[in-house]
């Protein structure tokens, strides 16, 4: 059995220290009712130990460890972590702006100026994670939260991999198919460069309202990711088209992204 060690180096809090305001699936909106931050709203992620497989326990510990290590304005902050006999709790930032998926669903596509804004913040967040040896591996609109001023925060590190040097590879087949890099799909090993392919998919989706590689089922989608020619919408600016082509290099060694100069320049 995998020990999560959730009390180690963390402030210990009890579940009764929080009043539930709203909940959806395993995430609750809670208000702190004790301590120096009384009245503060948080998102509380709750996992039942009895329903967690060994693999899920490993991923839960990985998420806790990564969130404990990371401190960045565009990555969700872990405030507390604790466990009871039957449940695990992560107390995270509550963001009032919802998520990028909801906004994209309503607006279908964004202006290039809006996309540039989101990409700049995402690039800074990814570069920070990569500098710590972390591959994020699940970049998609659902995992990008928005604060009330419209700034982003990446959340959900359950599929992330840490302690990976840039010259070492991970081999897990994980993530959301449509956002997976070719080297993840073919299971030949991937590095942080896989995140920059997903970054390109997200950029394409925000600009066009559609995904660059999407078949009628998983098998066809994977085949398209591995071999299909990118259909580039001509209404995109020359600069946007150039960036997308640089991100969609199937050979990760040729892919733009290991560094953030292309966004901040």
Active site members = 138, 140, 143
Please, which residues have CB within 8 angstroms of residue 222's CB and are 6 or more apart in sequence? 177, 180, 185, 215
- Please state, in angstroms and rounded to a whole number, the distance separating the CA atoms of residues 80 and 11: 6
Question: What CA dihedral angle connects 178, 75, 150 and 47, to 10 degrees?
Answer: 70
Q: Specify whether the CB–CB gap between 102 and 124 falls below 8 A.
A: no
């Amino acid at each position: 059995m995998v020990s999560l060690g959730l009390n180690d180096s963390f402030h210990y809090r009890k579940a009764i220290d929080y009043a539930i305001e709203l909940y959806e699936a395993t995430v609750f909106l809670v208000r702190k009712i004790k301590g120096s931050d009384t009245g503060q709203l948080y998102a509380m992620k709750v996992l039942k130990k009895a329903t967690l497989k060994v693999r899920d326990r490993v991923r839960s510990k990985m998420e806790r460890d990564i969130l404990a290590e990371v401190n960045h304005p565009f990555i969700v902050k872990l405030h507390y972590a604790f466990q009871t006999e039957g449940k695990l709790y992560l107390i995270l930032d509550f963001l009032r702006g919802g998520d990028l998926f909801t906004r994209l669903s309503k607006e279908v596509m964004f202006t290039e100026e809006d996309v540039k804004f989101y990409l700049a913040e995402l690039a800074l967040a990814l570069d920070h994670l990569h500098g710590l040896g972390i591959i994020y591996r699940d970049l998609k609109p659902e995992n990008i939260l928005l604060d009330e001023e419209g700034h982003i925060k990446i959340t959900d590190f359950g599929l992330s991999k840490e302690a990976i040097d840039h010259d070492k590879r991970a081999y897990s087949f994980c993530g959301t198919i449509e956002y997976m890099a070719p080297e993840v799909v073919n299971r030949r090993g991937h590095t942080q460069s896989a995140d920059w392919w997903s970054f390109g998919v997200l950029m394409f989706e925000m600009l066009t309202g559609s995904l660059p590689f999407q078949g009628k089922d998983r098998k066809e989608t994977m085949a398209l990711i591995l071999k299909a020619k990118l259909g580039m919408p001509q209404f995109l600016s020359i600069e946007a088209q150039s960036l997308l082509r640089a991100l969609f290099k199937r050979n990760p060694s040729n892919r733009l992204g290991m560094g953030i100069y292309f966004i901040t320049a």
